[in-house]
A and B are shown apart, each in its own frame.
Chain A
């Protein structure tokens, strides 16, 4: 065999984002940028102003006489319930409203302004009901029932609603004997934590345009993380075939979970059905965005942890009460994920958890970056700190002693796969000089360091699948079809790298086909759960291998060689045996002529591939135990060095180290970018964010009243650290990182604050005001 030089693979290299040029030039098309011409009509929505009431009557007659108003739709126009895991809502309310913002009627008109005026002309008569404004109130036996028909709702087989109550899911873990274990504990800490509602606040608000043709076929354009799930759920709710619903979704201007599943998109569809032939556009205002799509659920967490004298965790009991809001697109599954992850990334022999998803008359809880994990780790990681304090153990050592390693048994009795958590801990601690005491910059300031660790699995049905196709053009450039959405996380770039590496072509030859269009794009369950690099990545590799195999077989036949000896390098088919080469151009579309002129062989190459995990087992309803609860866990750690002003309570983040085991960083620069963005989003939610609900009414739904971090709030230094312990079924060993990078941020900050001031705050957010008064109560800084 002759010498051949190794062509560098783009895997693991610093590769620029493939979507960056589109995005810096303004060429990137987002849903609101699509143009529909003069047939376009506009929809606006009349929303409930009451948290809980019966609808006694709707009078749209005045609105219908307004010139320019084309139609009005109400709950009468929706027949079947819709929902991802639990079909618990009508697109427009029938009979009852359950939160402030619940859609009651839709007005379709020739302009946004007329539609809005039309909304003002609709009279709705309500009969008020007592609202449920707190999950602890909601689980009381005498609490008003928000969904009296809960028992009739279709539900996924791993979700367990309790009809006759406000509990839409109850997930239990019973491992070992918790009650017996307490007596063997040297230290027991028991605390209650509160996590308020927050909102994803993507800078692009939700927008959807729907059009129904005269045969009833529906096209929906939207800013969507879940085009296929939307297609499925909308088709089911309308009682039509998935074939007859087409969802098209261009670039998404930030999702973080808010654009997953179906929220306002169904409104546009129902409105479009009233005016066949016309596209109808619905766009949320920023204020609506804050409470009319999804919010992150609130949580009350009661956590009790016990450890032995030598610092070994022995028992943990948790109760999670999720403030799920009026309906639960994802909340029921967040509740489940919180249950099977209830211990955090620790090995604990005795575990008890009750995780309840509780209906309240609050905005609809949806998935948000971390899917319940930031919320539960807020409490878990503070309690672990307190246990270490009580034992007078170093907090890093305590975590190293107890954290999960390969082979550890998790809360669900499953075996932990290889994981780099301990490296994440040591490296992030080192990055902020964990053991060095720092001096504050002024007498009225204090420095503090804190650490927090995390785990998170993709929370999804056991069989969530991905698929991909690869198609060649005449010049051997390539179009890749995927159904995974580019939300900013960089999936298009990673997809391009993987395809290029597998096929043996330069990245520049590859183009990701867009927009995602359920009519043409291959199936992808949803762009959620940080699952694309892993799951869609596997499908792309399969598709690329398929195409590659077809090409090599063709050329092997052409050369009369064995395809085993052939390879593709930089777009050339080469033979290691005969040293022949053949460029991919032309042959990938036109095939190759037979040498004797007797005809041709081959044909246009199209590769396809899919991936679906097949090994996730169900968990016992009574104990939550099972062989393999999830596909895998990404683990990580953040360490925070901060300064706090004792006179104002303001926290300044000086250094945040962020280390995650991503299995394999396909694109290390993008992994770091996720970690940086996650730290700042996490810090923002920790320090500032709280969607304030007063009697169910959101009182701060704007960026002026609901502050998110701006450039001036970014920590002085973020240190991203990549740890790579490969995932057995990940492409090149990769697993996800998108969501994880904000999971431990809040407790790491709280732990650093505790270090600085010697006080604990158990309720988010850590506003300056809250810190200030906590310090006052304690009698000032020491």
Chain B
């Protein structure tokens, strides 16, 4: 067993001047250089002796990194270094994407969320990342910037394995773009921890629904999960059941069971895989029921 260090190990801290400079640094010495924003994942991993970078680049200082912009046509653009409290208190996020507010508020503690960023949460690519399920069902686009300029990575292609994301050598996550919310939508993030609030998820479930004439049931649902597979995942089969409809207690139950069966959770200190599976079913059912009662036209 390797015990955490009493203090942070040595490294050099760099305030970058440009995206270009960071990309070059990352490209040249990718083993030794790490970008960071809140440091709430990175510092902990350094103290735990999991990684030992020699240079840390404070990329939240780059232009645009902490901006939040909303436009009815374009949607929401979040700089990668926007911290979770900034998301949760932004008036237009509260109005149009309450799901994101719920997800952000579910993380750790208020003081930690002043440092923890949305981009860091994604880049860290933990299976338990609380922001991931909501971004998956909102079909967020992640804007990476590298030596060859910007590139779009759909969020559902971003998570590769625990701790591994789709960024390439020299690339940095710059921005997260989310479409304007569909008409009449309602979303819910339900997280189960060992205690009432603030734990890492035993299971996290994001559910989104909205009226959609192109779906057979007249409604489209999206479902994503955290902490129950090597990466955050979508429950596409379960979504399909609901999109085909009709939406009823039975189809909701079927979707919940299908979601459960889509998970491959592990046993860890927080919970067993079996409990996680059982809880996915419960949380999905609860989420779907709540979403369904909120979006039913005339219902």
Contact residue among B195, B202, B269, B272 (Cβ-Cβ distance under 8 Å from A705): B269
The yes or no answer to A669 lying at the interface (CB within 8 A) is no
If A648-B279, A769-B271, A769-B272 touch, whether A707 touches B194 (CB-CB below 8 Å) is yes
**A713 adjacent to B196 (CB under 8 Å):** yes
Q: Name the A residues within 8 Å of B199 (CB-CB).
A: 707
Contact residue among A113, A648, A712 (Cβ-Cβ distance under 8 Å from B192): A648
Chain A positions 757-782 with a Cβ under 8 Å from a chain B Cβ: 767-769, 772-773, 776
**B194 adjacent to A688 (CB under 8 Å):** yes
The yes or no answer to A709 lying at the interface (CB within 8 A) is yes
Chain B positions 157-203 with a Cβ under 8 Å from a chain A Cβ: 192-200, 202
Within the complex, the shortest CB–CB distance from A49 to chain B, in Å, comes to 6
If A112-B7, A283-B6, A287-B4 touch, whether A699 touches B195 (CB-CB below 8 Å) is no
The yes or no answer to B9 lying at the interface (CB within 8 A) is yes
**A707 adjacent to B195 (CB under 8 Å):** yes
Do most interface residues of chain B lie in helix, strand or loop, or is the interface mixed? loop
Complex alpha-carbon distance, A113 and B8, angstroms: 9
Contact residue among B3, B5, B197, B270 (Cβ-Cβ distance under 8 Å from A712): B197
**B194 adjacent to A287 (CB under 8 Å):** no
The yes or no answer to A710 lying at the interface (CB within 8 A) is yes
Complex alpha-carbon distance, A768 and B269, angstroms: 13
Within the complex, the shortest CB–CB distance from A124 to chain B, in Å, comes to 14
Complex alpha-carbon distance, A773 and B195, angstroms: 17
The listed residue with most A CB atoms (<10 A of its CB), out of B1, B10, B279, is: B1
Closest residue to B278 on the A side, CB-wise? A772
**A713 adjacent to B195 (CB under 8 Å):** yes
Return the CB mask of A406-435 against B: 1 if under 8 Å, else 0: 000000000000000000000000000000
Chain A positions 245-299 with a Cβ under 8 Å from a chain B Cβ: 283, 285, 287-288
**B269 adjacent to A692 (CB under 8 Å):** yes
**A712 adjacent to B198 (CB under 8 Å):** yes
Within the complex, the shortest CB–CB distance from A703 to chain B, in Å, comes to 10
**A100 adjacent to B1 (CB under 8 Å):** yes
Complex alpha-carbon distance, A325 and B114, angstroms: 41
Q: Name the A residues within 8 Å of B4 (CB-CB).
A: 285, 287, 702
**B194 adjacent to A113 (CB under 8 Å):** no
Q: List the count of A-B residue pairs having beta carbons below 8 Å apart.
A: 66
The yes or no answer to A72 lying at the interface (CB within 8 A) is no
Chain B positions 1-50 with a Cβ under 8 Å from a chain A Cβ: 1, 3-7, 9-10
Complex alpha-carbon distance, A688 and B270, angstroms: 10
Q: Name the A residues within 8 Å of B195 (CB-CB).
A: 687-688, 707, 709-710, 712-713
Closest residue to A708 on the B side, CB-wise? B195
Return the CB mask of A634-648 against B: 1 if under 8 Å, else 0: 000000000000011
Closest residue to A701 on the B side, CB-wise? B3
Q: Name the B residues within 8 Å of A707 (CB-CB).
A: 193-195, 199
Complex alpha-carbon distance, A33 and B196, angstroms: 33
The yes or no answer to B66 lying at the interface (CB within 8 A) is no
Q: Name the A residues within 8 Å of B269 (CB-CB).
A: 692, 699-700, 705-706
Within the complex, the shortest CB–CB distance from B121 to chain A, in Å, comes to 15
**A112 adjacent to B278 (CB under 8 Å):** no
Within the complex, the shortest CB–CB distance from A713 to chain B, in Å, comes to 5
Within the complex, the shortest CB–CB distance from A111 to chain B, in Å, comes to 9
**A285 adjacent to B1 (CB under 8 Å):** no
Q: Name the A residues within 8 Å of B279 (CB-CB).
A: 648
The yes or no answer to A1 lying at the interface (CB within 8 A) is no
Within the complex, the shortest CB–CB distance from A271 to chain B, in Å, comes to 15
Contact residue among B3, B194, B202, B278 (Cβ-Cβ distance under 8 Å from A288): B3
The yes or no answer to A542 lying at the interface (CB within 8 A) is no
Closest residue to B196 on the A side, CB-wise? A712
Contact residue among A49, A116, A769 (Cβ-Cβ distance under 8 Å from B275): A769
**A768 adjacent to B194 (CB under 8 Å):** yes
Complex alpha-carbon distance, A288 and B196, angstroms: 26
Q: Name the B residues within 8 Å of A713 (CB-CB).
A: 195-196
Q: Name the B residues within 8 Å of A499 (CB-CB).
A: none
The yes or no answer to B282 lying at the interface (CB within 8 A) is yes
Chain B positions 241-293 with a Cβ under 8 Å from a chain A Cβ: 269-272, 274-275, 278-279, 282
Within the complex, the shortest CB–CB distance from A415 to chain B, in Å, comes to 44
Complex alpha-carbon distance, A692 and B267, angstroms: 13
Within the complex, the shortest CB–CB distance from B56 to chain A, in Å, comes to 17
Within the complex, the shortest CB–CB distance from B3 to chain A, in Å, comes to 6
Return the CB mask of A571-612 against B: 1 if under 8 Å, else 0: 000000000000000000000000000000000000000000
Return the CB mask of B79-109 against A: 1 if under 8 Å, else 0: 0000000000000000000000000000000
Closest residue to A770 on the B side, CB-wise? B275
Closest residue to A50 on the B side, CB-wise? B1
The yes or no answer to A697 lying at the interface (CB within 8 A) is yes
Complex alpha-carbon distance, A707 and B197, angstroms: 11
Chain B positions 195-236 with a Cβ under 8 Å from a chain A Cβ: 195-200, 202
Contact residue among A113, A710, A773 (Cβ-Cβ distance under 8 Å from B7): A113
Q: Name the B residues within 8 Å of A285 (CB-CB).
A: 3-6
Within the complex, the shortest CB–CB distance from A690 to chain B, in Å, comes to 9
Q: Name the A residues within 8 Å of B270 (CB-CB).
A: 705
Within the complex, the shortest CB–CB distance from B297 to chain A, in Å, comes to 27
Complex alpha-carbon distance, A100 and B200, angstroms: 27
**A697 adjacent to B1 (CB under 8 Å):** yes
Contact residue among B6, B194, B197, B274 (Cβ-Cβ distance under 8 Å from A112): B6
Chain A positions 691-737 with a Cβ under 8 Å from a chain B Cβ: 692, 697-700, 702, 704-707, 709-710, 712-713
The yes or no answer to A44 lying at the interface (CB within 8 A) is yes
Q: Name the B residues within 8 Å of A688 (CB-CB).
A: 194-195
Complex alpha-carbon distance, A407 and B218, angstroms: 77
Complex alpha-carbon distance, A769 and B199, angstroms: 15
Chain A positions 112-165 with a Cβ under 8 Å from a chain B Cβ: 112-113, 116
**A773 adjacent to B194 (CB under 8 Å):** no
Closest residue to B272 on the A side, CB-wise? A769
Complex alpha-carbon distance, A647 and B7, angstroms: 42
Contact residue among A44, A116, A767 (Cβ-Cβ distance under 8 Å from B194): A767
Closest residue to B198 on the A side, CB-wise? A710
Closest residue to B192 on the A side, CB-wise? A648
**B6 adjacent to A44 (CB under 8 Å):** yes
The listed residue with most B CB atoms (<10 A of its CB), out of A116, A700, A768, is: A768
Q: Name the B residues within 8 Å of A709 (CB-CB).
A: 195
Q: Name the A residues within 8 Å of B198 (CB-CB).
A: 710, 712
Complex alpha-carbon distance, A169 and B9, angstroms: 45
Closest residue to A100 on the B side, CB-wise? B1
Closest residue to B203 on the A side, CB-wise? A648
Q: Name the B residues within 8 Å of A706 (CB-CB).
A: 269
Q: Name the A residues within 8 Å of B192 (CB-CB).
A: 648, 768
Q: Name the B residues within 8 Å of A773 (CB-CB).
A: 274-275
Complex alpha-carbon distance, A44 and B5, angstroms: 10
**B275 adjacent to A113 (CB under 8 Å):** no
Q: Name the B residues within 8 Å of A776 (CB-CB).
A: 278
Within the complex, the shortest CB–CB distance from B128 to chain A, in Å, comes to 11
Complex alpha-carbon distance, A293 and B263, angstroms: 40
Q: Name the A residues within 8 Å of B5 (CB-CB).
A: 113, 116, 285
Chain A positions 41-72 with a Cβ under 8 Å from a chain B Cβ: 44, 47, 49
Q: Name the B residues within 8 Å of A702 (CB-CB).
A: 4
Complex alpha-carbon distance, A734 and B188, angstroms: 54
Chain B positions 62-86 with a Cβ under 8 Å from a chain A Cβ: none
Can you spell out 9 A-B residue pairs with CB atoms less than 8 angstroms apart?
A112-B7, A113-B10, A287-B4, A288-B3, A688-B195, A709-B195, A712-B198, A773-B274, A776-B278
Binding site for B on A (CB under 8 A): 44, 47, 49, 100, 112-113, 116, 283, 285, 287-288, 647-648, 652, 687-688, 692, 697-700, 702, 704-707, 709-710, 712-713, 767-769, 772-773, 776
18 more A-B residue pairs beyond the given contacts A112-B7, A285-B6, A699-B269, with a C-beta to C-beta distance below 8 A? A44-B6, A49-B1, A100-B1, A113-B6, A288-B3, A647-B282, A648-B279, A652-B196, A697-B1, A698-B1, A705-B269, A705-B270, A710-B195, A710-B197, A713-B196, A768-B194, A769-B271, A769-B275
Binding site for A on B (CB under 8 A): 1, 3-7, 9-10, 192-200, 202, 269-272, 274-275, 278-279, 282
Sorted nearest first, the 3 A-B pairs with minimum C-beta distance are A712-B196, A769-B275, A700-B269
